[in-house]
Amino acid sequence: MYFFLEEFSNYYTTYIYELITQASGVKISNIIYQDIHGTSATKVALKLNCSPTNPCTGISLEDEMLTYENKNAEALCNHAGGITYGVVQPNNCF
């Protein structure tokens, strides 16, 4: 499992943030992503790829604005559940 947020020359590399767990005994819950704004280096700016045996729960996305090439970025979620508050772009995939 890891969290990834790295800035290089005002552009973010690979994904703005990424939450990954392998099919393991690790359970991730109650994570808050708040006030994240920026430009993604890829079309998918939000990727939550959690374990099918221990899905991520209680994920909170709050006031986020992420773009890709001056357009709306995309989100990809697998086995993740949560809620959003405020303006969240890309549209969440809960």
What is the rounded distance in angstroms from the CA atom of residue 64 to the CA atom of residue 45?
11
Q: For the chain, first and last CA: distance in Å?
A: 20
Task: Give the Cβ contact number of residue 8 at 10 Å.
Answer: 8
So what's the pLDDT on residue 46? 86
Q: Residue written as tokens 């006031």?
A: 63
The secondary element (H helix, E strand) that includes residue 86 is strand 80-89
So what's the pLDDT on residue 47? 85
**Token digits for 56?**
């991520």
Mean pLDDT for the chain? 77
Nearest to 44 by CA among 68, 8, 11, 27: 68
Lowest-confidence segment of 2-16, 22-36, 46-60 by average pLDDT: 2-16
